[in-house]
């Protein structure tokens, strides 16, 4: 014991002042007040003491995934009820969190109201100063949304591509085109349209659309959920079964839910991972050496006959999404290796779970210019901001569920949070990358 203590002390001494601060703050583990006002007054910002790691033991949180972080009950510490549920921003890491919020963070709740269905695939097209958004449902609806940011308030324009693309779920703006991960599967659509899920691209100026992929060697996909383009032009995408649960696809999946890489120059599609329950959002680190994939296994597509109207009745038509709290709500990071250079087939290795959601499950994920991860929390109200390694910095609390986010504006310091029923706008100091500004392999 003596030996251990001595070596621990000399270890601390060797590490110097950084460890001494950590040790000191460990000693200050008082649990009240857990929450305090902090940061500039342009928004309601609440800092959480030591990540809330010690709460008065009468705390509780309903395990239902529908109960958010702020729905935790902390009856013996008033600071929680007074400052957490009403906060626009929750800060866990005070240094990094207040720095990314900057001197005048602002949130515009429900900035652009939209139909009360899921909205996804937000992408900013700088030359038009427009935000393109995909709309899920109602079943049979072939319309998507462009938000013109040149006017104040922004103008909402519904558009249909030529030919129509039924139910895109995710996407990115690359080389002048909208690339959509498409989930709709239906052979009897309006206008005699027949469609299988896959990848389509659209010219945002003319709305002319063309297909790049619609099958895996004769099987149809379950319903593509999201995609991203790497620096050599390969499209990496996730395939899921939400369209089946949302009534946008009459067919159960024919093949395992998985993540794939598609090479437009050759047409080859290759599976890269099949270990996630529900592969969902997908993004590369700024240097292209890490691939992030979110797993929304928490939300499962129920059996036919289990139709419900969703948590909070946010849908006006039946869906079959069920929630299992013990399923995955994780972000995985993988190393991207290119043993045969840019022309070869890359591999992903070193899978690691770097984050479990604080509420909801991770959905769309975007990487900021400095490498931070900005992650929508699915059918829950908010967005998490993490370091590249998955350390929780801060959380934005919205008044509607957020499925995905898009950086926009001249300096890319505005971010639009899109979800069910609307779009929330945030202005802060965290800068998004310029679309099409790619890392080098």
Ligand X SMILES: *[C@@H]1O[C@H](CO)[C@@H](O)[C@H](O)[C@H]1NC(C)=O
Does 326 participate in binding ligand X (rule CB under 6 A)? no
Q: Give me the least distance between CB of 204 and ligand X, in Å please.
A: 17
Q: 3-state SS string over 204-264? A: CCCCEEEEEECCECCECCCCEEEEEECCCCCEEEEECCHHHHCCCCCCCCCCCCEEEEEEC
* Least gap, CB of 170 to ligand X (angstroms): 18
Is 189 near ligand X (CB under 6 A)?
A: yes
Question: Whose Cβ is closer to ligand X: residue 49's or residue 201's?
Answer: 49
Part of the chain binding ligand X (CB under 6 A), chosen from 139-147, 261-269, 389-397, 401-409: 139-147
How many angstroms separate the CA atoms of 375 and 388, rounded?
Answer: 12
Question: Which of 170, 182, 177 has the alpha carbon at shortest distance from 363?
Answer: 170
Binding of ligand X at residue 167 (CB under 6 A)? Answer: no
Q: Please identify which residue in 85, 126, 140, 288 interacts with ligand X, judged by CB under 6 A.
A: 140
| 354 counts as binding ligand X under rule CB under 6 A | no
Write the interaction track for ligand X spanning residues 240-259; mark x where CB under 6 A is met and - where it is not. Answer: ----------x---------
Interface with ligand X, residue 70, by CB under 6 A: no
**430: Cβ–Cβ under 8 A, 6 or more apart, which residues?**
100, 368, 370, 372, 374, 385, 413, 415
Residue 246: CA count within 13 A, CB half-sphere: 28
The dihedral formed by the CA atoms of 76, 79, 85 and 91, expressed in degrees to the nearest 10: -120
Residues 6+ apart with CB under 8 A from 283: 228, 291, 292, 365, 366, 367, 373
User: Does residue 53 belong to the site contacting ligand X (CB under 6 A)?
Assistant: no
290-295 and 144-148 strand pairing: unpaired
Binding mask 14-33 for ligand X (x = CB under 6 A): ---x--xx--x---x-x---
Binding residue (CB under 6 A) for ligand X from 186, 240, 243, 414: 186
Q: How far is the CB of 214 from ligand X (least distance, A)?
A: 16
Smallest distance, Å, CB 382 to ligand X? 16
In the complex, least distance from residue 336 CB atom to ligand X, rounded to whole angstroms: 37
192 binds ligand X per the rule CB under 6 A: no
Q: Which residue is nearest to ligand X (CB)?
A: 140
C-alpha 31/C-alpha 74 separation (Å) is: 11
Please list the helix, strand and coil fractions of the chain in percent, rounded to the nearest 5, in that order.
15, 40, 50
Name the minimum Å distance from CB 87 to ligand X: 8
Q: Does 49 bind ligand X (CB under 6 A)?
A: yes
- Quick note: the x/- pattern for ligand X over 81-100, rule CB under 6 A, is -----x--------------
Q: Tell me: does residue 390 bind ligand X (CB under 6 A).
A: no
> Contacting ligand X (CB under 6 A), which of 85, 102, 126, 138?
138
Residue 104, interface with ligand X (CB under 6 A)? Answer: no
Q: Which residue, 44 or 214, is less far from ligand X as judged by CB?
A: 44
| CA count, 13 A, side-chain hemisphere, 258 | 16
Q: Does residue number 13 form part of the binding site for ligand X (CB under 6 A)?
A: no
Spatial CA neighbour of 376 closest among 259, 304, 386, 337: 386
The DSSP output letter for 60 is B
Transcribe 25-59 into DSSP letters: HHH----S--EEE-S-TTS-EEEEGGGG-S--TT-
Eight-state DSSP code of residue 303: P
Q: Which position among 35, 39, 43, 332 is part of the footprint of ligand X (CB under 6 A)? A: 43
| Chain residues that interact with ligand X, rule: CB under 6 A | 17, 20-21, 24, 28, 30, 41-44, 49, 86, 115, 135, 138-141, 143, 158, 186, 188-189, 250
């Amino acid at each position: 014991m003596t030996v251990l203590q001595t070596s621990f002390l000399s270890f601390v001494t060797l590490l110097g002042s950084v460890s001494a601060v950590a040790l000191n703050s460990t000693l200050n583990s008082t649990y009240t007040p857990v929450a305090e006002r902090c940061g500039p007054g342009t928004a309601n910002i609440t800092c959480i003491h030591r990540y809330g790691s010690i709460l008065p033991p009468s705390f509780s949180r309903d395990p239902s995934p529908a109960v958010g972080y702020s729905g935790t009950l902390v009856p013996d510490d008033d600071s929680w009820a007074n400052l957490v549920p009403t906060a626009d921003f929750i800060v866990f890491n005070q240094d990094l969190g207040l720095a990314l919020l900057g001197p005048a963070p602002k949130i515009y709740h429900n900035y652009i109201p939209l139909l009360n269905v899921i909205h996804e695939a937000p992408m900013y097209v700088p030359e038009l100063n427009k935000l393109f958004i995909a709309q899920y449902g109602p079943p049979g609806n072939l319309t998507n949304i462009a938000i013109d940011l040149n006017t104040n308030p922004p103008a909402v324009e519904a558009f249909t591509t030529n030919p129509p693309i039924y139910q895109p779920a995710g996407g990115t703006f690359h080389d002048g085109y909208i690339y959509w991960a498409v989930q709709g599967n239906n052979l009897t659509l309006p206008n005699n349209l027949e469609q299988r899920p896959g990848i389509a691209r659209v010219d945002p100026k003319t709305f002319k659309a063309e297909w790049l992929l619609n099958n895996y060697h004769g099987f149809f996909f379950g319903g593509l959920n999201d995609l991203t383009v790497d620096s050599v032009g390969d499209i990496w995408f996730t395939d899921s079964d939400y369209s089946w649960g949302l009534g946008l696809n009459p067919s159960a999946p024919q093949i395992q839910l998985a993540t794939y890489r598609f090479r437009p120059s050759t047409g080859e599609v290759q599976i890269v991972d099949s270990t996630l329950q529900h592969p969902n959002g997908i993004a590369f680190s700024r240097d292209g050496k890490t691939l992030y994939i979110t797993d929304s296994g928490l939300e499962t597509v129920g059996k036919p006959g289990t139709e419900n109207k969703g948590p909070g009745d946010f849908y006006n038509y039946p869906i079959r999404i069920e929630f299992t709290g013990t399923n995955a709500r994780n972000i995985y990071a993988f190393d991207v290796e290119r043993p045969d250079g840019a022309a070869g087939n890359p591999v992903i290795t070193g899978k690691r779970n770097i984050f479990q959601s604080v509420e909801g499950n991770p959905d769309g994920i975007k990487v900021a210019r400095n490498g931070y991860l900005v992650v929508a929390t699915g059918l829950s109200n908010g967005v998490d901001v993490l370091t590249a390694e998955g350390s929780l910095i801060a959380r934005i609390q919205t008044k509607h569920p957020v499925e995905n986010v898009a950086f926009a504006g001249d300096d890319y310091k505005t971010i639009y949070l899109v979800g069910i029923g609307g779009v929330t706008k945030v202005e802060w100091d965290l800068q998004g990358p310029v679309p099409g500004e790619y890392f080098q392999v």
